[in-house]
Structure formats: structure tokens, C-alpha cells
Amino acid sequence: MQFNIDEEKSSRAATDINPSNRISDEVIGRENAISGSYNTLSGLVEEVRSAVNSEIMDREWSVQQLENAISQMVSDRENALTAEQDARSAADEDLSGNIIAERNSRIEEVKVERERIDAMLSGSTIDLNQLHELVTAYQTSDNDILVQIGNITSSINLIQGRT
């Protein structure tokens, strides 16, 4: 038994002498573990930072693309509106010119008809100022002329019958 006690004593003595070595080893092991964790976390933080920066750049690029597209659409719409306004303005001018030409043509036709009526009425002692009165007067004159022709024909027949 003494041998076992001596053995234990010597084992404890060797172990007790080395507690500082064991603590030192434990500290070094913990420091290494902490350093490894720190390096791992630092790497992960850098990956996340890089991913966030990349995402920010992608979003900024997308926003710029959208702004460019919107700007182009606004420009296209403004150009289309200007073209439509110009086309409508030109069409309005054409239409206005056509209306004026048509009005002048109608005025000229009315003037010609008035001149014809005035020519028919010139020399007449009757005041005929409406087309209906003019038509009635000519029909009456035609009837009077036909009656006169009939009377002259009868007179000629009567004269020829005496001979």
C-alpha cells in the first residue's frame, strides 16, 4: 500500500507542479478558440458587409435604370403631345381655310344669282323683291303672252276667212 501512496503522491506532485502549465495551456487554448471564433465572425461580417454593399449597388443601379426609363417615357409623351398639338393646329388651319373658301364660294354663288335676278328685274316697273314674286310675274306674263298669241291667231284666221 505504501507503494500506491507513494505513486499517488508523486503523481499529484507532478500534477500540482504543472497547474500553472495547465492553466497556461488552458488560457492558450481559450485564446486560440476565441481568436478562431473572432476570425470566423470577422469573415462572416465581411461577407455580410460585402453582400449588403453589393445589394445597395444593385438597388442604386435599378433605381437609376427606372429613373432613366421614366425620364424617357416622359420625354416620349411630351414629344407625342407636341406632335399631336402641331398636327391638330395644322388640321385646324386647313379646316379654317376650307371653311373660308367654302363661305367665299357660297357668297360668290349668291352674288351671281342676285345679279341674274337683278338682270331679270331691270327695266321692270313692278317692284319684285322676292323670288316667288318674280316667278309669279313671269308666269302671269307668259299666260298674257299666250292669250295675246291666241287672239292674234284668231284675228289672222278671221282675216283670212274674209278673203
Residue 141 is predicted with a pLDDT of 83
CB 140 within 8 A of CB 126: no
> C-alpha distances in angstroms, 76 versus 79, 88, 97?
5, 18, 31
pTM above threshold 0.75: no
pLDDT of residue 51: 94
pLDDT at residue number 71: 96
pLDDT per residue as tens, the chain (163 positions): 777 777 776 766 666 555 666 677 777 878 888 888 888 888 888 999 999 999 999 999 999 999 999 999 999 999 999 999 999 999 999 999 999 999 999 999 999 988 887 776 676 666 656 667 767 777 888 888 888 898 898 888 888 877 6
DSSP 149: H
Please state the φ and ψ torsions of residue 152, each to the nearest 5 degrees.
-65, -40
Which residues contact residue 121 at a Cβ distance below 8 angstroms, ignoring those fewer than 6 apart? 128, 134
According to the model, what pLDDT value does residue 127 have? 62
pLDDT of residue 79: 97
The pLDDT of residue 25: 75
Burial pattern 29-49, b for ≥16 Cβ within 10 A else e, equals eeeeeeeeeeeeeeeeeeeee
